[in-house]
Amino acid sequence: MQITDISSWGVVLIVALTAMVMGLLALVDRKTMQRLAKVLMFLACNMAVVALYAWAMCHWWHWWLGLLWVVLLSVSVAVLVASRVRQRWQRLLPALLPAVLAGMLVGWGSVRLVWPHLPSAHLLLGMTALMACQLVASLTKALQAFVGSLHHAQSHYRYLLANGATHIEALMPSVRRSLRATLIPSFSAMSALLMVMPPILFCGLLLAGTAPVAAVVATVLVLLAQLVGSVAATLTMLCLLDRILFDKLGQLK
């Protein structure tokens, strides 16, 4: 069985059930029905754009198409992460964009070494999309923890500097909090009750016809690649933020 073996009767059934749900909501809660209709339209438009680009990449693969995809995805992730922090997001982009690119490169490069014979377009599209989801969650928490620690522990930072600590030594408590925060999404994904809530990637591989053992191995390797990529992205972000948020004397701007 292949995932492309789609039954027309099944498609009609799912569409009919969705229409029934919308009809029920129209009777019970019209506002929720209207919101659901807008979400479905947004989903359809987004999936159409993704399908068009993915089709173009898979049929006319060229390195510049892959590069364009990675850059556009990285910019989107960087803007989304910066907008979730109570700072001027334009100020944070010079640190976030290289960090996202580093995380993408490390995650995709790790998986590329594991499966060197997979088609480049398929692997790039899939892995960068998975890394984007991971980086939105991990970098948001890491950035919030780092910026929050800087603002709430300024007196402790100045105390360490006054007692002979270097700038890096005084900054280490905030760095540790940021690194802990960036691992929270990975901890949640790895410590969940997998028999009840298996990873979406594992379910997708099973739907695509992959053998269960191979699907488990692939899922674990991708989760580890996401973990390494998110840590690499956080370290890159912290190094660049140090130049953006502090002056030459080690004081917050």
Kindly report, residue by residue over 44-70, the tens digit of the pLDDT: 998 898 888 888 888 887 878 888 888
The pLDDT confidence band at residue 193, using thresholds 50, 70 and 90, is low
The answer, yes or no, to whether residue 77 has pLDDT greater than 80, is yes
Q: Using an 8 Å Cβ cutoff, are 182 and 234 in contact?
A: yes
What's the rounded mean pLDDT across residues 149-170? 79
Element (H, E) at 156: helix 154-162
- Could you report the per-residue pLDDT of 16-47, keeping only the tens digit for each? 998 898 888 888 888 888 898 899 999 899 88
Residue whose entry in the numeric block shows the structure tokens 């298996």: 198
Q: Full-prediction pTM beyond 0.95?
A: no
Q: What angle do CA 218, 101, 242 make, to 5 degrees?
A: 125
Q: Using an 8 Å Cβ cutoff, are 58 and 122 in contact?
A: yes
What's the rounded mean pLDDT across residues 178-195? 80
* DSSP bridge partners of 246: 252
Across all residues in the chain, what is the average pLDDT?
84
Counting every residue written for the chain, the total comes to 253
Both tokens of 230, joined, read 């998110």
The answer, yes or no, to whether residue 87 has pLDDT greater than 90, is no
Say what the pLDDT of residue 50 is: 84
The answer, yes or no, to whether residue 233 has pLDDT greater than 90, is yes
The answer, yes or no, to whether residue 229 has pLDDT greater than 80, is yes
Q: Using an 8 Å Cβ cutoff, are 151 and 88 in contact?
A: no
Q: How far apart (Å, rounded) are the C-alpha atoms in residues 152 and 138?
A: 21
The answer, yes or no, to whether residue 98 has pLDDT greater than 90, is yes
Say what the pLDDT of residue 251 is: 67
For residue 56, the one-letter residue type is A
Both tokens of 52, joined, read 């068009």
Q: Using an 8 Å Cβ cutoff, are 135 and 230 in contact?
A: yes
- Of residues 111, 157, 151, the one with CA closest to residue 134: 111
Total H helices, total E strands in the chain:
9, 0
